[in-house]
A and B are shown apart, each in its own frame.
Chain A
Amino acid sequence: MMGYYLQLALRTLRRNIVLTSLIIAAIGVGIGAYMTVLTVLLAMSGDPIPEKSGQLFVPQIDLWGPNTRPKGAAGPVRLPDQMTYRDANALMLAHAAPRQVAMYSVQLDVSPLTGAPYSQQGRATYRDFFAMFQAPFKEGAAWSAKDETDRADVVVLGKTLAARLFAQRSAVGQTVSLEGRLYRVTGVLEAWSPMPHFYDVSNNPFGSGEQFFIPFTSAIGHEIDSNGNYSCASLPPPGWTGKLTGECIWLEFWAELPDAAAVRSYRQFLNNYSAEQQHLGRFHWPPLVQLSNVHQWLALEHIVPDEVRVNSLLAFGFLAVCLVNAVGLMLARFSSRASEFGVRRALGATRGDIFMQCLTETAVVGVLGGVLGLGLTALGLAANRASLGGELAEYTHRLTHLDPGVMALTVALAVGATLCSGLYPTWRATRVQPAWQLKAQ
C-alpha cells in the first residue's frame, strides 16, 4: 500500500505543481532560516569534551570581596574567573586533585631558519594538560616531570606550526627558536581545536587554538608575560615580582576530579584553603569558593552570546509563520480534492486509508522541503560565515562542510514540521463523508 500511496503522492504533486511548489518553498525557507541560526547556536553551546565534561572542574576563590559584585544580583555568584599566581601555585603544590594544571596564554615570536620571524599563540601549562583535555598526539609525547622541575626549555608543537617549520620531517628532537631561545620539541599534536575554547574562555572562546605549549615553570622562570586578561582589584607591587605576589588574576586553573567523592573532598580542600587565607589576613570577608564542571563553567561565563539566543527565537518565529502558511496551503490542497476522497471512500477506502494517503503526500512534501531547506541552510551558513569573518567563522566553517549529523537533523526537522502542519488538514480530509460529496454533485 505504501508503494501505492507514494505513486499517488508523486503523481498528485506533479499535477498540481504550482501549489506544491508553494508549500515546499514555504517549508524550505522556514527550515533553512531556522537551521542556519540553530546550527550556530548548537555549535556554540555544544559540549566540547563530552567524554570528560563531568570530570573537569574550575575552582574559584572569592579574592575580591562582595564589594566588587553588583548588589542583589540573582543567580550564581560571579567570582573572579581567573587566579592569582599565589593561589594557582599553592593549589598546584597541594596536589589535592589527581590531575591539575595552572596555565596562561602567551604570544611568542618564532624565528624560523629561513625567512622573517612571525608571532604565534601558545600556552604555558603543566604536562597534565594533554591528558586532562585529551589533546591527541601525532608523534612524541608531553615533556617529562623532570623537565618540569628542571624548568627545561621544551615545547609541544601544534600540527600547523610543526608543518610550517619542519614540513614532512619528524619534529621530535628538533629545536625551535622562540623569542631567541632554543626549545627542544618533545611532541607534535594532531589538529586540535575544541569548540568552544573552553579551557580558556575568558580570553578567546572561539578563536583558533594555540600552536605551541611550553612548561609553566619554564615560562615563569623566563618571566614570559601573559597574553591574556590581567585584572586587578587593587594595585600590585611593581615589576615581575608584583605579578607573582600581587592580587591580580591572570592564570587559568583546572582540576580533574574523577568521581563525586573526589569532588566533595576537593571542595572541602578549597574551603579550608580559603579560610586559611582569610586567617592569614589576605582578605576580611567570609571565605567563599565555587567549583564548576565544564557545563557549569560555560554557563557561568555566558559562552553563548545572548544575541545568538535572540536570533534563534526570532528564527523560530519565522519558521512558525512558514508552517502556518503551509497548513493553510495544505488545507486548500486537500479541500479541493474532497470529492476524490469521497469517491475513494465510496469505493471502499477506510478513514485510515485516506489518512495514510494524505500523510504520505505530506511526508513527501516534507522531504522535498527538507532538501530545499538543506540547500538554503548551506547558503545561509556560507553567507553567515562570509559576513562574520574572523574568529567566529572558524566554527561555522566546520558545519558548512556537509556534516552528516546536521543534514540529517535538517531533513528530520522538515519532515517532522511538515507532518505536524499537515495533521489538521489530513484529519479534515478523512472526515469527508462520502455520501455528502456525491449528493452535492
Chain B
Amino acid sequence: MLKMIHLSKVYRTEVVETYALRDFSIHVKEGEFVAVTGPSGSGKTTFLTIAGLLEEFTGGQYQLDGADVHGLNDNQRSRLRNQKIGFIFQSFNLIPDLNVFDNVDVPLRYRRLPGAERRKRINESLERVGLSARAKHYPAELSGGQQQRVAIARALAGGPRLLLADEPTGNLDSQMARSVMQLLEELHRDGATIVMVTHDPELAARAQREVRIVDGQVIDLAAQTRLVENPTSRPVV
C-alpha cells in the first residue's frame, strides 16, 4: 500500500542544508495499522506530509497503492490525495464556517460526485463514527472528541485506501482519547490501512507494529517485520 524506498527530503537555504529525511524506507501493507514514533524534530511530520502527497521529496521513491508518485504535478497529486488518502490531524482542522455535514462533504465535492451519492456517503460516515444526530451542528458546538470523530468521518467518506493520522489524540483528554483510539481500532478491524504518527508510546503500543524514526532515519525495533527491500541498509541498535 505505502512503500517508500530510500526517500530523502532536504531543505536547502543559502548557507545550510537540512536533511529532514535521510535514506528513509518503509513498507506498509494493506490492512496494517502502523505507528510511527520518534522524538521531536525527528522527521515524523515530514514523513506524514510526504506520505500524504502534501510535499515533494528530494530523492528516492514513493509508491502509493502500487503507483509511483514521481513526477506528478500539483493537480495530479491533489487528485490522488483526494481519492486515496484520508487525513486525521492533531487539531482536527474542521472548517469553522461549515456544519458537520458540510465538513464531511468537502472532500467529496472535490471528487465531483453527484448530490445523492455524496449524501449517502456522508450519512454512512457519520453513522460509522456515531455522530448522525449532530449533522447540523457547527464545530464550535462540539467537544474535542466529537470534533475529531467528525474529522475521522470526513477522512472516511471518500473511501480512502489509506488513513494517515497525525497525533490523533494529542488535543484530547484521556477519556476522549480512549474513545477515538477505540474507533481507530474498530476501523482497522474492518480492514482499513492506518498509519499513525505519535510520540506517545502507550498509543503506539495499540498499533499493530511500530516504526521508530530518529534524525530522519528509520530505526528497526520490531524484529518480526521486514523493513526494507534493499539489503544494504544497516539496522541501528
**A interface vs B, CB < 8 Å?**
1, 4, 11-12, 15, 339-340, 342-353, 433-435, 438-439, 441
Contact = CB atoms under 8 A, between A and B. Distances in A.
Given A347-B107, A435-B54, A441 B91 contact: yes
B109 A1 contact: yes
Given A434-B54, A435-B49, A441-B90, A348 B97 contact: no
10 contacts: A343-B93, A345-B54, A346-B52, A346-B54, A347-B110, A350-B79, A350-B110, A438-B49, A438-B54, A438-B89
Given A348-B82, A435-B54, 13 more contacts: A1-B109, A1-B112, A4-B109, A340-B96, A343-B106, A345-B54, A345-B78, A346-B87, A346-B93, A347-B110, A348-B83, A348-B158, A352-B75
B153 to A, nearest CB: 13
A15 B112 contact: no
B163 to A, nearest CB: 13
B75 A347 contact: no
Interface string B72-87: 0011001101110001
A11 B97 contact: yes
A4 B158 CA distance: 18
Contact of B95 (A4, A343, A345, A350): A343
A343 B139 CA distance: 15
Contacts of B158: 348
B132 interface: no
Contacts of B87: 346-347
Nearest to B76: A350
A340 B78 contact: no
B97 A349 contact: no
Interface residues of B, number: 31
A350 B89 contact: no
Contacts of A346: 52, 54, 81, 87, 93
Contact of A12 (B79, B93, B97, B154): B97
A12 B95 CA distance: 11
A348 B79 CA distance: 6
Contacts of B154: 347
Nearest to A342: B93
Given A350-B74, A435-B54, A340 B97 contact: yes
Contacts of A11: 97-98
B97 A353 contact: no
Contacts of A433: 54
Contacts of A339: 93
Nearest to A3: B115
Nearest to B79: A348
Interface in B29-78: 45, 49, 52, 54-55, 74-75, 78
Nearest to B45: A439
A222 to B, nearest CB: 81
A132 B181 CA distance: 90
A4 B109 CA distance: 8
Nearest to B167: A441
Nearest to A439: B45
B75 A348 contact: no
Contacts of B91: 441
